[in-house]
Amino acid sequence: MTGAPDSCGRSINYLRVSVTDRCNLRCTYCMPSSGVPLIPRSNILSYEEILSVVRATTEAGINKIRLTGGEPLVRAALPELVGMLSQVPGMEEVSLTTNGVLLRRYALELKQAGLSRVNVSLDTLKAGRFRDITRLGELGTVLDGIEAAKDAGLHPVKINVVVIRGVNDDEVLDFARLTIDQEWHVRFIERMPFNGEVDFIPAAELQKLMGSLGKLEPRMPPTGNGPAAYYRLPGATGTIGFITPLSEPSFCSRCNRLRLSADGRLRPCLMSDDEVDLRTPLRNNAQPSELKRLVLEAVASKPERHHLKEGNATPLEIRGAGGVINSKMSQIGG
């Protein structure tokens, strides 16, 4: 077993790295149309600083990296960072989560730099609804990006769908059918709390709905580091995954990750404000051994579970012109 053991017996081998809090979309459930207050650029880690952190985490036993944002592809020269990270001794995988808008432009370059695979966030298959949700996006651009990723060899391309009641829950079967018709690997994600409220569609409800398409057979994951449970419909070459942080009591027992924010804070749990500051020691020329010690400190402080359903978790929110909006994700990396 690889990874750094935490106090609950979990093996922590996966780091999500937010490279920017900037985004080229303004999704209605993420931020107001005017955007959100941004981290000063001077506070965002340089690629060299990210590399130093990743070397320290690899020394601690973490061997899988996922680049996130914001939207990571809006950061200049991201393939250069991919190339740097993929060459770190002991690194097994560098992957990327993106909204897909710029994926067609960069897919082949990312693959050549050493990227293993890509996840695309896509909450609707309807062009008009896509524009309504994202405010700035065009569905065709994202679909072209998905095909470009496949053509570049970034397999498997996983599609992340946050199901929101009354917004896109009528498309669940449409997404599921694409696992049969087009070999898509679709993952349905229970919506995280907004403003401290727990409003989500449990995976069990989605699974019952999919009974009209056939029996879901459990399957091993196509590849990856996350906590999704995977299934396959009859005759499908793709898979259906369910990510269930709210409805499954044992969800946190499988958590294997830390998160590095764009401004250098190492976060053991997405739904806790406990963080370890790495930017300050980085800019004070800390030795690699000190960075490794801080990484292991973060691993040791990882809580046993979140408290979303009890309403005790830190809301992922920020205040915008339209009120409190969930947008802290753009800094933490989801």
Domain CATH for 323: 3.20.20.70
Q: What is the pLDDT of residue 252?
A: 78
Listed residue (110, 21, 14, 9) closest to 54, CA to CA: 14
> In which residue are the tokens 């994700």 written?
329
**Residues 189, 162 contacting (CB under 8 angstroms):** yes
- The residue-averaged pLDDT of 125-132 equals 97
Domain region containing 291? 4-332
> pLDDT of 213-233, one tens digit each?
999 999 988 876 677 899 999
- The residue-averaged pLDDT of 43-72 equals 97
Q: What percent of the chain has pLDDT over 90?
A: 72
Q: What is the pLDDT of residue 90?
A: 95
- The residue-averaged pLDDT of 279-298 equals 97
pLDDT band, very low/low/confident/very high, at 325 (cuts 50, 70, 90): very low
Q: Which of 57-61, 181-185, 191-195 has the highest mean pLDDT?
A: 57-61
The percent helix, strand, coil of the chain (3-state, each to 5) is 35, 20, 45
pLDDT band, very low/low/confident/very high, at 310 (cuts 50, 70, 90): low
Number of domains making up the chain: 1
Which DSSP category does 41 fall into? G
Q: What are residue 319's DSSP bridge partners?
A: 324
Give the integer Cα–Cα distance in Å for 40 and 42: 5
Two structure tokens written together for 108: 């082949």
Give the integer Cα–Cα distance in Å for 8 and 145: 40
Listed residue (6, 62, 96, 22) closest to 305, CA to CA: 6
**Residues 230, 176 contacting (CB under 8 angstroms):** no
pTM, whole model, 2 decimals? 0.90
Residue 331 has pLDDT above 90, yes or no: no
**Residues 222, 229 contacting (CB under 8 angstroms):** no
CB contact set of 14 (below 8 Å; sequence gap of 6+): 3, 62, 64, 65, 66, 225, 226, 256, 257, 258
CA 141 to chain centre: 20
Q: What is the pLDDT of residue 327?
A: 39
Two structure tokens written together for 104: 């067609």
Q: What are residue 318's DSSP bridge partners?
A: 325
Two structure tokens written together for 82: 């991919």
Q: What is the pLDDT of residue 8?
A: 87
Q: What percent of the chain has pLDDT over 70?
A: 87
